[in-house]
Structure 1
Amino acid sequence: MIYLLRHCKATGQEYNAELTSEGKESSIKLIPILSKLNIHEIHSSPMTRAIDTVSPFAEKNNIHINTTEVLQERILSLDAIPDWKSHLEKTFLDFDYKLENAESSNEALKRIFTFVKSLDNDKNHLIVSHGNLLTLLINKYDKNFEFIESLKMENPDFFKLDLINEKVERLNISK
């Protein structure tokens, strides 16, 4: 089984953005929830907010965190853009749309999907990543989960991906 975890609330979108105090509290509250899942491997974005989200669980359960840039947030733009939501929406309407020096939805989806398909089916995996990238993966299995749903995702948010039955479901997290 593959579990998908969007990072806890962070101070920003920068690579080294840390968790807020609320985000740190949420990461501690995740320990008993994740401990019930018999996680064998943790795979995380190398971005600080993702690692800090899963570190308390990993430390308590003595599980190594495998970081990979494959799981870092999708690059919508290298520059700050004030109307980023309209561009993000365009990437869901046209999976080949992208700004200069950015990544299309198809490119980002291929990146995470190739990674997910490479995982050992006999183990339970926890993937810790970011809202936009996870939305693209979830959308592959649930076409109703698109732009609007990505904006409704919480920090943290939690899903179970069943590759055998090709379905994904949102799991409740008590905050």
Structure 2
Amino acid sequence: MITHIYMVRHAESPFTPDQEEGRGLSEKGWADARKVADRLKPEQIDVFISSNYARALQTIEEAARQQNQAIITEPRFRERELASWDYPFADFEQGIKQVFDNPSFAYPGGESNEVAQERGIAALKDVLDHHRGKKIVIGTHGNIMTIMINHYDKQYDFAFWKKTTKPDIYKLSFDEDTLVNVKRLWE
């Protein structure tokens, strides 16, 4: 039985370090969220689940409304904690590369890729167990999305993360618990 998971990376959101959970979409982000809804409409989604962060919820809320569905929040799909907010990154992208190159490494106050992956995969397995054979949208974030897909296929790494956009959509097809296909739906 095939289950389809649509990982939706959130749309553009202005960065404000003190409001990670409540940070919403920019004007461009809202316009792109409407495009996400248009792109997902023909897929006939059965279930909508999202990180509890505002930008992830807002990115899929129009799609859920159009398909007359509620959004279930799942905090385990939130973005990974890279480091405490006061950690002085000289180069943010290089900081992300460091944790992808060294999966057990964590910055002070942050999660390693291994820890974040364990959290995300536990949530994803729960979704697969409870919604077999369905089409499920998961509103999420770039790092955690990449880390979760990487659990199944190692080619989804730092270089993949760098190529993702805000928003982005990846359709993951599972035969039971085995990932059998990944297709990008956002272009």
TM, length-normalised to structure 1: 0.92
Please give the root-mean-square deviation of Cα atoms over the aligned residues, in Å.
1.6
Query: Could you tell me which residue of structure 2 aligns to residue 141 of structure 1?
Result: 152
1:72-111 maps to which residues of 2 (within 5 A)? 72-80=78-86, 81-82=88-89, 83-111=91-119
Question: CA contact under 8 A between 1:141 and 1:168: conserved in structure 2?
Answer: no
Q: In structure 1, how many angstroms separate the alpha carbons of the residues matched to 2:179 and 2:51?
A: 23
Q: In structure 2, how many angstroms separate the alpha carbons of the residues matched to 1:168 and 1:139?
A: 13
Quick one: which amino acid aligns to residue 41 of structure 2? S
The alignment partner of 2:171 has SS state of strand
Question: CA contact under 8 A between 1:70 and 1:115: conserved in structure 2?
Answer: yes
Tell me the alpha carbon deviations over residues 31-67 of structure 1, each in whole angstroms, 9 at most, x when there is no partner.
2211111211111011111111011111122111111
Q: In structure 1, how many angstroms separate the alpha carbons of the residues matched to 2:184 and 2:97?
A: 25
Between the two proteins, the alignment pairs up a number of residues equal to 174
Query: Could you tell me which residue of structure 1 aligns to residue 164 of structure 2?
Result: 153
Aligned residue among 118, 122, 126 for 2:133? 122
Q: In structure 2, how many angstroms separate the alpha carbons of the residues matched to 1:167 and 1:96?
A: 27
Q: In structure 1, how many angstroms separate the alpha carbons of the residues matched to 2:132 and 2:153?
A: 21
Structure 2 gaps, min length 5: none
Structure 1 residue 43 and structure 2 residue 46: aligned? no
Question: CA contact under 8 A between 1:41 and 1:65: conserved in structure 2?
Answer: yes
Q: In structure 2, how many angstroms separate the alpha carbons of the residues matched to 1:94 and 1:167?
A: 27
Deviation, 1:28, is: 0.8
Q: In structure 1, how many angstroms separate the alpha carbons of the residues matched to 2:102 and 2:164?
A: 21
Q: In structure 1, how many angstroms separate the alpha carbons of the residues matched to 2:38 and 2:164?
A: 21
Question: CA contact under 8 A between 2:47 and 2:136: conserved in structure 1?
Answer: yes
Structure 1 residue 52 and structure 2 residue 58: aligned? yes
Closer/same/farther in 2, CA of residues 145 and 4 from structure 1, 3 Å limit: same
Structure 1 residue 6 and structure 2 residue 17: aligned? no
Deviates more, 1:102-111 or 1:26-35: 26-35
Quick one: which amino acid aligns to residue 166 of structure 1? L
Aligned residue among 103, 111, 121 for 1:113? 121
Q: In structure 1, how many angstroms separate the alpha carbons of the residues matched to 2:36 and 2:157?
A: 26
The alignment partner of 2:43 has SS state of coil
Question: CA contact under 8 A between 1:8 and 1:156: conserved in structure 2?
Answer: yes
The alignment partner of 2:170 has SS state of strand
Q: In structure 1, how many angstroms separate the alpha carbons of the residues matched to 2:92 and 2:180?
A: 29
Tell me the alpha carbon deviations over residues 94-130 of structure 1, each in whole angstroms, 9 at most, x when there is no partner.
1110012211101111111111111221221111100
Deviation, 1:20, is: 1.3
Identity of aligned residues (%): 26
Q: In structure 2, how many angstroms separate the alpha carbons of the residues matched to 1:147 and 1:30?
A: 24
